[in-house]
Copies of this chain bind each other. A is one copy, B any other.
């Protein structure tokens, strides 16, 4: 491995270790020593890459956002109809929240960020932009009825998804998160779709399976 690759690999190892520590202990109780131990690197190596706990938290949040944006781009490249893509993106995000420690830690840190004096708003802006773009196309395609402002719908989808997964975390440790995401769309769809036939709604809801076993679809 070239020196640069090795340095990059060490950085990723540290971020993965930090994610596990932050996810378990929260920002306030996490320590750099715990992170170094978990990542199996020396404190020197850790300080070479990250000057402070705050730096490390920022890196985990950024890595989390990168992963989720990557999922979003994959969904876009699959060429699904835009309303389907909006639903599948929520499903994929839910899936990451269930199974990916970096995403779990990144979201926890995003919520806790105000406690360490930062406000993390860029990921929300990115998501609102993507959802607004999809909603605009879904109206053109005739999937979402006219009279709904894409920017209003996009802001609400992002905000309500944020609340849904957060409340699911607080109430059930995210055990019911996929079911709650499905419920979200079950309540939203009849109000926003042009074709309100139960068949069409059922087909869209099938994009989010009821049980976790089936979640690995796609």
Binding site for B on A (CB under 8 A): 25-29, 108, 111-112, 114-117, 119-121, 124-125, 148, 152-153, 155-156, 158-164, 166-168, 170-171, 180, 183-184, 186-192
Contact = CB atoms under 8 A, between A and B. Distances in A.
A197 to B, nearest CB: 14
Nearest to A149: B183
Pairs of residues from A and B, 10 with the lowest C-beta to C-beta distance, nearest first? A163-B163, A191-B191, A160-B160, A162-B163, A190-B191, A112-B115, A159-B167, A28-B115, A159-B163, A26-B115
A190 B148 CA distance: 11
A124 B162 contact: no
A171 B28 contact: no
Given A111-B111, A160-B164, A170 B120 contact: yes
Contacts of A188: 187-188, 191
B191 A189 contact: yes
Contact of A163 (B26, B116, B161): B161
Given A114-B111, A187-B192, A119 B156 contact: no
Copies of this protein chain in the complex = 2
A145 to B, nearest CB: 9
13 contacts: A29-B117, A111-B114, A115-B116, A119-B170, A121-B170, A155-B180, A156-B180, A159-B166, A160-B164, A161-B163, A163-B166, A187-B191, A191-B192
Question: Which DSSP category, helix, strand, loop or mixed, fits chain A's interface?
Answer: helix
B164 A159 contact: yes
Given A120-B170, A161-B163, A162-B166, 8 more contacts: A28-B28, A28-B117, A124-B171, A155-B183, A159-B168, A160-B184, A166-B166, A188-B191
Contacts of A115: 26-29, 112, 115-116
Most central of A125, A152, A153 by chain B CB within 10 Å? A152
B191 A26 contact: no
A108 B184 CA distance: 24
A135 to B, nearest CB: 11
A163 B107 CA distance: 13
A110 to B, nearest CB: 9
